[in-house]
Structure 1
Amino acid sequence: METDPSQRRNGFVGTLYGEFTDTLNDRLRYSVSLKESSLTIQRISSSPGRTKVVFNLSDCVGCRAYRGPDSADVGAYFTAYFYPFKRRWMSAGVARQRVEQCFRVALVQDPLVNLQEAERWAHAIRDAAGQQAPRRDGVTYMEVRRPRRVMILVNPHSGRGQALQLFTAHIEGMLTEAAVPYSLIITEHQNHARELVRKADLSQWDALVIMSGDGLLFEVINGLMEREDWQEAIQTPLGILPGGSGNALAASVHHYSQSPPAWNEELLLSCGFMLCKGLVGSLDLVSIHLSSQQRLFSFLSLAWGFVADVDIESEKYRHVGAIRFLMGTLVRLYSLKVYQGKLAYLAVKETPKPQKGTITASHPPSTPQHPSLCSSLPCQLIPTSPNQNHHRNHSTTNSNPITSVITTKGTETQGDAKTKTLVDSLLPGLDQPVPESWTVVKEEDFVLVLAIYQSHLAEDLWTAPGAMADDGFIHLFYVTAGISRPALLRLFLAMEKGSHLACGCPHLVYKKVKALRLEPISPQGVISVDGEMVEYGPVQAQIHPGLARLIYG
């Protein structure tokens, strides 16, 4: 072992070197070298030009040591699991793909000694990989921590009804490789997730992960905000695994990782990889007030007009997956509507510099080391009734008003320790006029109004190219009446590449705001929050930066 002071400070000490055989052919030998940021594998051969492969440890999710299935085999084994970017088959671009590297350790005839050596390597690789988490340019994370106890909520009816199968096929194995214990809960009805997290003992969990569309995360966030211990509850890291048809947050999380575009199973693999790495950052939430005085918390969007119509009306096509939005768009374009209403907003005067957090690379004292031997991870499966349907929430009659919310840096609260509520200091009452500092839009005829706080509105809709999960902005778009059908279609086609703002469309307006108010005048219409239909009427919203935490890298 070679030691280096800088490596010792980072938690990994020196360079580890060994020679091992192939798991299937003892005649094939490899030299393996572990350094601070890489694992180098080179075949030992008498011929020149030996093949060498270098793996970046930032792509490694785990490593395990184990005995072989043959009790007469004195050797031991260790296997490292990588998800590097590799060129896609039959198409351009790259995507994360699984690579497994396995070696046989047979230094002596003592099985225990060989197993101990395999465990030493597995532990060293895991430790070094934990120090080499992926990074986004110019961004540091508040915390680097691999979740060790994860509650995973799966809606089996989301999207095309394949969420559970996708979890079994792609994510279950990844979590085993990363030694992340989890409990799998199958949601059985509308608001099941909301009710569950409202009552759950969250001290038992290090993260709550959603395997569904965006609607289930909406339930979870509002369930957390309804708890008496909301201050601690909303700090529970949230993860997203795309299992629906929209998957807007999953696409946004993937985008924030500065990875090449991905869809379908490739997007799922990317989000699963980030879950295994366990990088935690801030997530902005938006407080939304409805005319009934109910308050909701939103992580994605508030929409009225064309976007909300397409989202809700395309429900009938959800069995076809993400293409439902294209079908809904074409149908709504054919019968394009114009809505009358009043819009006002508090614009952002200056764009603040992004605040950088600090990195805590070591595990807390309470976090146990992951086992190096192969073992069955604790997994609870709570089955769903096959006869139950899981519908989206198209009304708010079953929702409880929020009476307690989180206190974070820069967030105002009022009340005593047990009844503190979040103060929306920028918002007057809905029955009061907006302050003079707000901008009132002169136009009253709109095709759509969309307030979004993530980069993507769907897997293939890069709606707010400059948005980040924690930028502190509501990205407000609206399209005024007079736009032609072909021009509106061009905007949405350009949105696939995030180039719609460069189209020069005079009917499209984009603003960064902190708060907004929308007052529909047209007697009928649809307003949606995070893709869920809410009551139609006046609505206003204010952003609260960093209110929640999100697993992304």
Structure 2
Amino acid sequence: MEQDASEPDPSRQRNGFVGTLYGEFTDTLDDSLRFSVSLTESALTIRRISSSPGRTKVVFDLTDCVGCRAHRGPDGADVGAYFTAYFYPFKRRWMAAGVARQRVEQGFRVALAREPLAHLQEAERWARAIREASGMQAPRRDGVTYMEVRRPCRVMILVNPHSGRGQALQLFTGHVQGMLTEATVPYTLVTTEHQNHARELVRKADLSQWDALVIMSGDGLLFEVINGLMEREDWQDAIQTPLGILPGGSGNALAASVHHYSQSPPAWNEELLLSCGFMLCKGLVGSLDLVSIHLASRQRLFSFLSLAWGFVADVDIESEKYRHVGAIRFLMGTLVRLASLRVYQGKLAYLPVEEPPRPPKGSVKTSQPPSTPQHPSLCSSLPCQLIPDPSPNQNSPHNRITTNCNHNTVTNSSNNPVTATKRPETQGGGKSMTLVDSLLPGLDQPVPESWTVVKEEDFVLVLAVYQSHLAEDLWTVPGAMADDGLIHLFYVTAGISRPALLRLFLAMEKGAHLACGCPYLVHEKVKALRLEPISPQGVITVDGEMVEYGPVQAQIHPGLARLICG
């Protein structure tokens, strides 16, 4: 279904555009305007043909192109044919600072011969060449290996019509639907009808019909989809289905993070939606870390964004009443909660990440080509175990799964060897396996000596986050990546004043909170953590969704899922 984008595609070498095309065409509306058009593997260059000395030249970068189509004119008497390319380059915002992606449609009329069929064939030749050349020129980050959704891909788009201000469907039809048509991406739109509808749907769906699952909502719907995929018997294959995000909620943390990872200028609202839609049309796929979370009731959840207790969790849940105002609901909730700031008693422990030693000054770092594992859902994970399923109960909260995978040695995102221990047990022709979080002891057991136990027991908030953004306007971890294999643990201890806490959150809008020098704020990079609330009442959230209150622990699994990004 996908291929390593760092390797040449033989089919493109055989059938794709190679070299340079050149032609002369007229304007779609005015035959007196003539243009010379040249296409290379990286750009479409247009020059106006004129008797005047100066020539107007426009160059379109093919990394900004989502598609091109050939078509006949609207008038049946028109013997010409047309081809139209669709670009989304960065342009300066109208009456605002900065730049953002904006749609540009560029079309030409072909009338090189008298036979109408020849005109259409020439238009189709150009449209095909532009599509193939733009497909080879997708935005990529240096040093990152991507997979690529095959084209044409088949996409299931799940929309929550009640997310955010209840405008997700209107946003889709107004901004995304046309882009998918321009990029010739076939899709099926599914509107969710109730809580956990998406979870139930993907748990039972025939995923072989789909090349990607895309969520048009806030972060809560993606939480449902990921946990539905991980509850399947074929979870190892299911979780490799590329996941896309289109911001339609009030938080949109993952959408803001994906946009940030693409190294694009900051964007919000419709501009953020346009950026995520553009990346969906381009179809590049990277790795996505997931975090396995154990609750006191022995339920296990999989999280892609955050685990929160205290102030952040309170604001998230209590601001639901302001959902109709959109993203500003979090500011309103913050001000309300600041007015009656709470302190929570609890115990916190974590397994810190061992920072690699810095090379001696003047040494040369040797880079090795990244490996492309056959099963990224296993091969990118930190130490974990796959053990036989002791029970056939597939509704168990421990996600017992059947698989026929037979590889043993894998590699994590740092190219360090990791062993996935398996003890297969034949049951009905398959091997029943359970993914075990080997870094986590039982919640009733003490943490290992290698863990750090926080001495303070009075907290204003505890926040574990694994993406760069906690909301569209909260840049929580400036250096984070979707697949860095880290849990970024923040906690604020009691004693901080209300103005100081407000300053922290205002600074977080620009990612400057860690530079504030606040003595009550602590940031640690960890692989696992445990939180044990002592206060009898409180709120714990996972990816913004309220979960059971009580002891909770978590472990990171790098690269367990796949994410459409750029």
TM-score by length of 2: 0.87
What amino acid maps onto 2:565 in structure 1? Y
Partner of 2:126: 121
- Which of the numbers 448, 469, 472 marks the counterpart of 2:482? 469
Structure 1 unpaired stretches of 5+: 1-6, 361-398
CA distance in 2, matches of 1:254, 1:263: 10
Q: Is the 8 A contact 1:453 1:467 kept in 2?
A: yes
CA distance in 2, matches of 1:541, 1:146: 37
Q: How does 1:10-409 map to 2 (within 5 A)?
A: 11-143=16-148, 145-146=150-151, 148-351=153-356, 357=370, 401-404=397-400, 409=411
| Alignment pair present for 1:552 and 2:565 | yes
CA distance in 2, matches of 1:447, 1:431: 25
CA gap 1:517/1:193 in 2 versus in 1, 3 angstroms: same
Give the strand-richer structure, 1 or 2: 2
What amino acid maps onto 2:207 in structure 1? L
Q: Is the 8 A contact 1:403 1:419 kept in 2?
A: no
Partner of 1:497: 510
CA distance in 1, matches of 2:368, 2:322: 42
Could you give the per-residue CA deviations for residues 474-500 of structure 1, whole angstroms, max 9, x where no partner exists? 000000000000000000000001010
Alignment coverage as a number of residue pairs: 510
CA distance in 2, matches of 1:402, 1:147: 37
**Identity, % of aligned positions:** 86
Between 1 and 2, higher relative CO (CA 8 Å, sep ≥ 6) is seen in 1
Report the secondary structure of 1:419's partner residue.
strand
CA distance in 1, matches of 2:257, 2:135: 24
CA gap 1:356/1:469 in 2 versus in 1, 3 angstroms: farther
CA gap 1:411/1:222 in 2 versus in 1, 3 angstroms: farther
Q: Is the 8 A contact 1:194 1:220 kept in 2?
A: yes
CA gap 1:260/1:356 in 2 versus in 1, 3 angstroms: farther
What amino acid maps onto 2:355 in structure 1? E
Partner of 2:379: none
Partner of 2:380: none
Could you give the per-residue CA deviations for residues 132-168 of structure 1, whole angstroms, max 9, x where no partner exists? 0101233232446456100000000000000000000
- Which of the numbers 508, 514, 520 marks the counterpart of 2:533? 520
CA gap 1:355/1:273 in 2 versus in 1, 3 angstroms: farther
Q: Is the 8 A contact 1:412 1:423 kept in 2?
A: no
CA distance in 2, matches of 1:114, 1:453: 53
CA distance in 1, matches of 2:450, 2:329: 40
Partner of 1:426: 439
Q: Is the 8 A contact 1:230 1:404 kept in 2?
A: no
What amino acid maps onto 1:236 in structure 2? T
My pick for the range that moved more, 351-360 or 328-337, is 351-360
Could you give the per-residue CA deviations for residues 414-453 of structure 1, whole angstroms, max 9, x where no partner exists? 4535421111000000000000000000000000000000
Partner of 1:395: none
Alpha-carbon distance, 1:275 to partner: 0.1
Report the secondary structure of 2:475's partner residue.
coil
Q: Could you say what the CA RMSD is over the residues aligned between the two structures, in angstroms?
A: 2.0
CA gap 1:154/1:270 in 2 versus in 1, 3 angstroms: same
CA distance in 2, matches of 1:129, 1:357: 25
Partner of 1:456: 469
Report the secondary structure of 2:83's partner residue.
strand
Structure 2 unpaired stretches of 5+: 1-11, 358-364, 374-394, 412-417, 425-429
